[in-house]
């Protein structure tokens, strides 16, 4: 098992290198390059040609592309993603400021997904062809098709504009008292809508998955044996059946995390939350290459990491799979 | 004598049950598809939406770009079923016009994705060996790209145009098709009919496209249909972030983005409700059509 984990981790390295090469190539396709913004201002005489040349030398922009990539990857491997063209701050510092916000929204959405989808999916499978099953299956179908940004705007219209119950912008009210319970309550009210929007799609798809995977298991012989032994329905479903149904579910849950990360971009944009998504869009508009490279590489790393986690958990949970 | 006639009738009845009338694969698929009620309703819905989008604007006397300050910010009425915006433009005709771009982008992007995916998968599956291995690693790399980020990057860098958006969505969605086609090719290329084609002197290209590909099509068609739903959502998300098509061109996502302030500050709910509803209906219908197709082309279904 540990050999398998090590081998898979080693396999992830060339994957990450391949991805960073593709991302680097895409970013370099920019017409005008990173100094385009400054070049426009130079027309108005504020930045001289000498200034631009100095900047190019400072960031090594005159080097051939592969040299630039090698320099970047050498530093990145040592945990140095360079400094932002825009703010002059280290990229990792900028990401470090934004990442906790994104992780908070994501983590809560993931929690909501877990709490809702697993029991609902199991109940729908156990009570197959009942009203509960039809209702949850239809709602999850709707939940998958609903565009999250539309859902968000309609929620905001209802709860912020019409009812005035929930704030629609940011993660906290700057005018509010941020001490004690009032501060916590302020945070919670700000988080309710973004987290619900982000959790909706994943809850809908995971619920369907849990139901399907549970149905698969419930019709198997060993479940019938358990029933024939006279075990209670509760024990059969929640102990015997769930153990095997959990194997594919855990995998899908791990794969859902990168999707939540991407979904957070849209949610952050709607609710004006300054997380990784906003950082990325701002940097793309400013052509802040180092920040773009940093955000993209870390996101890709996240995808690869959770793929790995999914595979490893799969192996641990399913003793039928033997890795060599 | 009656016994004879009875026997005759029984025989013909039984033989009628055994002898199945000949049906082509596609008419068979269609017969099963129409039995899937939701899929059929969805197909009808999509046909209605598509025809409204294509011919609708010709029947509405409002010009989508015409500004009419006398009729600004009107809520839905008989004259303007979806209301008007802050410039007094009719929302219905703008939603229909916007649908043209939204659906055209989705269809084109899926065509790009399917073409790339099929070629990639066919070559990998047919060649096998190290070629297969190398191509599948490329698929792995693309699978690990953070999709929406890359899309935002490409569109910001190259600039938002129809072709850019289509290709950008396409190159982020071809991997599923490539894996499906590769899997079918790996098993199909060992079949006798391929061997016989090779013995008859057919070239590699002919074997791939003429003999193997038609047998590998059904999963691709299902994947492609479901892919359209994803592409509609992706384009809308991109436009919603303000990075897709630029005004005055309206797509559903773009209209939602423009409407955001008017819905949340002035309570003009119709501005956001209808464009989003169209995205929702289209995605839902396409998902159901894909589901129906999947059931209809599933070979296991015939044995049941």
Contact A153 B259 (CB under 8 A): yes
Interface check for A99 against chain B (CB to CB < 8 A): the answer is: no
How close B187 comes to chain A (CA, Å)? 23
Inter-chain residue contact B149 with A303, CB threshold 8 Å: no
A282 sits in which H/E element = helix A276-286
pLDDT of residue B112: 95
Report the residue of chain A nearest B38, measured CA to CA. A138
Q: What's phi and psi for B90, nearest 5 deg?
A: -70, 130
User: Residue A315: CB partners within 8 Å, gap ≥ 6?
Assistant: A1, A4, A321, A323
Query: pTM here?
Result: 0.84
Interchain proximity B264–A153, CB inside 8 Å: yes
Round to the nearest angstrom and report the end-to-end CA distance of chain A. 8
What sign has the CA pseudo-torsion B71, B77, B81, B83? positive
How many CA atoms lie within 13 Å of B176's alpha carbon, on the beta-carbon side?
17
Taking the alpha carbons of A255, A261, A266, A267 in that order, is the dihedral positive or negative?
Answer: positive
Judging contacts by C-beta atoms under 8 Å, the chain A residues touching residue B233 are 147
Residue A266, chain B, CB below 8 Å: the answer is yes
pLDDT of residue B17: 59
Strand partners of residue B90: B84
- Judge whether residue A38 has pLDDT over 70: no
Q: CA of B299: how far to CAs of A136, B192, B208, B290, B302, in Å?
A: 29, 20, 22, 16, 6
CA–CA gap between residue A248 and residue B84 (Å, rounded) = 49
Q: Which pLDDT does position B70 carry in this prediction?
A: 67
Q: Left if phi > 0, otherwise alpha if psi is -120 to 50, otherwise beta: which for A49?
A: alpha
Distances (CA, A) of B183 to A41, B56, B100, B122, B177: 54, 43, 35, 9, 10
Q: What is the pLDDT of residue B105?
A: 92
Residues in B touching A265 (Cβ below 8 Å): 148-149, 152, 241
A177: how many CB neighbours lie within 10 A of its CB? Answer: 11
* Rounded mean pLDDT, A301-313: 83
DSSP A304-319: HHHHHHHHHHHHHH-T
B15's tokens: 């033989």
CB spacing of B153 vs A266 below 8 angstroms: no
* B247 vs A301, more confident: A301
Length of chain A: 324
Measured between CA atoms, the residue of chain A closest to residue B145 is: A300
Question: Do residue A300 and residue B146 have CB atoms under 8 angstroms apart?
Answer: yes
Residues in chain A within 8 Å Cβ distance of B259: 153
CB contact under 8 A, B140 and A15: yes
Q: What is the pLDDT of residue A42?
A: 45
**Intervals of chain B under pLDDT 70:** 1-3, 12-23, 61-66, 69-71, 78-79, 88, 298-304
pLDDT per residue over A73-107, tens digit each? 888 888 788 788 778 788 888 888 888 888 899 99
What's the mean pLDDT when you consider all of chain A?
A: 82
What is the pLDDT at residue B303? 42
Residue A200 — very low, low, confident or very high, per pLDDT cuts 50/70/90? very high
Would the CB atoms of A266 and B237 count as touching at under 8 Å? Answer: yes
**Chain Cα centroid distance, residue A247:** 22
* Residue B108, pLDDT score: 95
| 3-state secondary structure (DSSP) of residue B24 | coil
Residue of B nearest to A155 (CA): B264
A205 vs A137: CA distance, rounded Å: 10
A49 φ/ψ angles, rounded to the nearest 5 degrees: -60, -35
Contact A270 B260 (CB under 8 A): yes
Cβ neighbour number for residue B47 with a 10 Å cutoff:
11
Rounded Cα gap, residues B92 and B81, in angstroms: 7
Question: Contact at 8 Å (CB) between A11 and A37?
Answer: no
Give the residue on B whose Cα is nearest the Cα of A306.
B144
Residue B283's nearest CA partner among B116, B111, B161, B102 is: B102
Subunit contact B276:A157, Cβ cutoff 8 A? no
Q: Where are the alpha helices (DSSP H) in chain B?
A: 2-18, 25-33, 37-59, 91-127, 129-143, 147-158, 162-171, 175-188, 192-199, 204-206, 217-240, 252-266, 269-297, 300-303
- Does residue A299 sit at the B interface (CB-CB below 8 Å)? yes
Q: Which residue of A has its CA nearest to B243?
A: A281
Tokens at residue B12, please?
């013909």
User: What phi, psi does A83 have (nearest 5°)?
Assistant: -115, 150
**DSSP symbols for A85-152:** TTT-SBHHHHHHHHHHHHHHHHHHHHHHHHHHHHHHHHHHHHTTTSHHHHHHHHHHHHHHHS-HHHHH
What 3-state DSSP class applies to A302? helix
Cβ-based neighbour number of residue B55 at 10 Å:
10
Query: What residue has token string 């084609």?
Result: B197
Per-residue model confidence (pLDDT) at position A323: 58
- Paired residues of B84 in beta bridges: B90
Q: Once rounded to an integer, what is the mean pLDDT over residues A38-60?
A: 62
Residue B225 Cα distances to A115, B25, B43, B95, B99, angstroms: 32, 18, 12, 23, 18
**Would the CB atoms of B273 and A154 count as touching at under 8 Å?**
yes
Distance of CA A297 to the CA centre of its chain: 13
CA atoms within 13 A on the CB side of B12: 5
Nearest chain A residue to B269 by CA distance is A157
Which residue, among B258, B264, B256, has the nearest Cα to B233 in the 3D structure?
Answer: B256
Confidence check: pLDDT of A248 > 80: yes
pLDDT digits (tens, 9 = 90+) for A128-153: 888 998 999 889 989 988 998 899 98
C-beta atoms of B146 and A296 within 8 A: yes
Retrieve residue A225's tokens: 């044996």
Nearest to A291 by CA among A304, A278, A301: A278
Mutate to test the interface with B, among A29, A149, A265, A268 (most CBs of B within 10 A): A149
Quote the pLDDT of residue B250: 80
């Amino acid at each position: 098992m540990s050999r398998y984990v090590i081998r898979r981790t080693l396999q992830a390295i060339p994957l990450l290198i391949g991805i960073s090469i593709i991302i680097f190539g895409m970013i370099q396709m920019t017409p005008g390059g990173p100094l385009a913004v400054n070049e426009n201002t130079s027309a108005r005489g504020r930045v001289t040609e000498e200034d631009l040349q100095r900047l190019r030398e400072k960031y090594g922009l005159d080097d051939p592309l592969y040299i630039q990539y090698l320099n970047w990857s050498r530093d990145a491997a040592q945990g140095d993603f360079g400094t932002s063209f825009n703010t002059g701050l280290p990229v990792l510092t900028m990401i470090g400021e934004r990442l906790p916000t994104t992780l908070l929204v994501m983590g809560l959405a993931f929690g909501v997904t877990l709490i809702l989808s697993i029991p609902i999916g199991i109940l729908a499978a156990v009570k197959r062809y009942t009203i509960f099953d039809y209702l949850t299956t239809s709602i999850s179908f709707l939940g998958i098709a609903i565009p999250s940004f539309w859902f968000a705007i309609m929620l905001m219209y209802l709860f912020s504009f019409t009812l005035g119950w929930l704030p629609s912008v940011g993660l906290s009210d700057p005018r509010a008292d941020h001490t004690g319970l009032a501060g916590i309550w302020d945070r919670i009210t700000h988080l309710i809508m973004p987290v619900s929007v982000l959790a909706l799609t994943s809850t809908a798809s995971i619920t369907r998955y849990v139901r399907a995977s549970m149905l698969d298991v419930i019709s198997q012989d060993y479940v019938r044996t358990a029933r024939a032994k006279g075990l209670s329905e509760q024990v059969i479903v929640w102990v015997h059946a769930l153990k095997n149904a959990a194997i594919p579910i855990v995998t899908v849950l791990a794969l859902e995390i990168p999707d939540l990360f991407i979904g957070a971009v849209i949610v952050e944009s709607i609710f004006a939350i300054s997380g990784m998504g906003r950082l990325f869009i701002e940097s793309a508009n400013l052509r802040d290459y180092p920040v773009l490279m940093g955000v993209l590489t870390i996101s890709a790393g996240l995808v690869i990491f959770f793929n790995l986690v999914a595979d490893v958990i799969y192996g641990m949970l399913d003793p039928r799979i033997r890795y060599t | 004598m009656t016994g004879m006639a009875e026997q005759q009738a029984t025989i013909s009845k039984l033989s009628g049950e055994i002898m199945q009338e000949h049906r082509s694969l596609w008419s068979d698929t269609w017969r099963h598809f129409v039995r899937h009620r939701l899929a059929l309703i969805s197909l009808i819905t999509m046909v209605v939406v598509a025809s409204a989008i294509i011919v609708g604007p010709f029947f509405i006397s409002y010009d989508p770009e015409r500004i009419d300050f006398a009729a600004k910010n009107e809520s839905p009425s008989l004259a303007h079923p979806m209301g008007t915006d802050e410039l007094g433009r009719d929302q219905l005709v703008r939603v229909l016009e916007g649908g043209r771009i939204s659906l055209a982008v989705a269809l084109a992007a899926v065509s790009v994705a399917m073409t790339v995916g099929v070629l990639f998968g066919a070559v990998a599956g047919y060649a096998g060996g190290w070629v297969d291995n190398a191509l599948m690693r490329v698929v792995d790399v693309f699978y690990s790209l953070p999709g929406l980020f890359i899309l935002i990057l490409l569109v910001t860098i190259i600039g938002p145009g129809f072709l850019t958006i289509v290709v950008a969505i396409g190159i982020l969605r071809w991997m599923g098709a490539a894996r499906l086609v590769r899997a079918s090719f790996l098993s199909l290329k060992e079949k006798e009919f391929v061997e016989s084609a090779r013995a008859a002197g057919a070239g590699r290209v002919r074997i791939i496209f003429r003999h193997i590909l038609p047998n590998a099509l059904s999963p691709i068609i299902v994947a492609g249909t479901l892919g359209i739903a994803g592409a509609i959502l992706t384009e809308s998300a991109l436009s919603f972030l303000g990075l897709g098509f630029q005004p005055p061109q309206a797509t559903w996502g773009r209209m939602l983005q423009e409407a955001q302030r008017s819905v949340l500050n002035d309570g003009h709910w119709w501005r956001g409700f209808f464009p989003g509803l169209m995205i929702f209906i289209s995605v839902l219908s396409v998902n159901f059509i894909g589901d129906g197709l999947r059931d209809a082309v599933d070979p296991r279904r015939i044995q049941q």
